Amino acid sequence: MDLSLKAKGWVELEGRRLGESDVRAILLQKPGAISKFGGEFFLEWNGCKARDHFGIMPGDCPPGAVVCSGKELGRVDPNYPLIDLDEAIRIAVQLRSDEGVVALSGGVDSALVARLAGRECVVVGIAGSHDLMHAKQVAEEFGLTLNQVIIDPASIEEALAQVLAVIPKKDPVNASIATTLYFVSRWAGQHGWQRILAGQGADELFGGYSRYLQTETLAEDLEKDFLGLPRQLARDQAVAGLHGAYFSLPYMDLRVVVAARAIPPEMLVQGGVRKRPLRAVAERHMPPAIAQYEKKAMQYGSGVMKEIQKLAARRGYKRSLQDYLLEICKKEGLDIG
């Protein structure tokens, strides 16, 4: 039987990376084994399609689905057992570290990925921004190559129009995050990298948002934010796709998700400290000062949000960033969404 396979991303089975010939052989001989595929992938073959469990890799079938002739015939769920969080993160990073570049902002999420991956890193920001300075300190501590992408207001406004054309939700927070990621993925694409290892998912899994410190409904908030991750992933991958790249997310590896969600919520945020279990793992691999460092969200640490606010004010939208974004959408003929 002839099998015509198109594959995006990468596949693993029981912790072993599979080459395209391996995937082809399994689809021919044991097609049911696809339900146990891990990794970040979108596969097409002989009228069928399949996508990784969380839908990290973009594709035109639902996350975690096996679809043939338009009908869902199965689910992709490796069903990993619960293992130690440190081990889960190390496996997740190791599986992704054979190629690519690490998006390093200097916070514990990206710092741990960078430390374990040992790969070249990239950081973006306005000249003198927090992320540029802190990422430089972290990279020097780890002995890693760091590429600093310094951006300016003109390039931000130009990027905004492209970002707003592809992101699902066009509001200031999503637009500023996506614009920051735009410059990361543009640099990666320009330098021949498709895979960008990044720390997305850590805040939702480990309690990283500052609002978790005040909430009285931590468990519910964490669950709601976790369920909102697909929309964030769609945003980020759409931006990366503009440059022929994709974000590879160790914290969204199902092993890590299983380990993280087994931790009681009250242990994630304690004594005014967020992401306590993740920081505990990080301290085994780096100096405590880096593992415990509290940094700003990327849109603030990079200086992108502040520059967008300035751009809006100069265009007459001092009081409403949303109106500024809507004006860009109208000018570009974009659906507001």
In the chain, residues under CATH classification 3.40.50.620 are 85-301
The answer to whether residues 193 and 239 touch, using CB atoms and an 8 Å cutoff, is: no
Mean pLDDT of 209-237: 94
Pick the CATH number of 85-301 from 3.40.50.620, 3.30.70.3270, 3.40.50.2300, 3.40.50.970: 3.40.50.620
Separation of alpha carbons 211 and 232, rounded Å: 18
Predicted confidence at residue 319, as pLDDT, reads 82
Question: What is 217-264 written as a DSSP string?
Answer: -HHHHHHHHHHTHHHHHHHHHHHHHTTT-EEE-GGGSHHHHHHHHTS-
Is a pLDDT exceeding 80 seen at residue 337? no
- Distance of alpha carbon 328 from the chain centroid: 26
Separation of alpha carbons 296 and 72, rounded Å: 42
Closest CA to 118 of 104, 108, 105, 130: 104
Is a pLDDT exceeding 90 seen at residue 225? yes
Instruction: Please state the three-class secondary structure of 257-311 as a single string.
Output: HHHHHCCCHHHHCECCECCHHHHHHHCCCCCHHHHCCCCCCHHHHCCHHHHHHHH
Chain segment 261-308, per-residue pLDDT in tens: 999 999 999 989 999 999 999 999 999 999 999 888 889 999 999 999
Pairing of strands 121-126, 146-151: parallel
The mean pLDDT value of the chain amounts to 95
Chain segment 68-103, per-residue pLDDT in tens: 999 999 999 999 999 999 999 999 999 999 999 999
Gap between the terminal Cα atoms of the chain: 45
Pairing of strands 48-51, 71-75: unpaired
Query: pTM of the full predicted structure?
Result: 0.94
Separation of alpha carbons 87 and 110, rounded Å: 17
Closest CA to 141 of 120, 111, 113, 117: 111
The amino acid present at 219, given as its one-letter code, is: A
**Letter string b/e over residues 32-66, b meaning 16 or more CB atoms within 10 A of that residue's CB:** eebebbbbbbbbbbeebbbbbbbbbbbbebebbbb
Q: Which two tokens stand for residue 251?
A: 């914290």
Chain segment 12-46, per-residue pLDDT in tens: 999 999 999 999 999 999 989 999 999 999 999 99
Separation of alpha carbons 116 and 142, rounded Å: 10
| 3-class secondary structure, 7 | strand
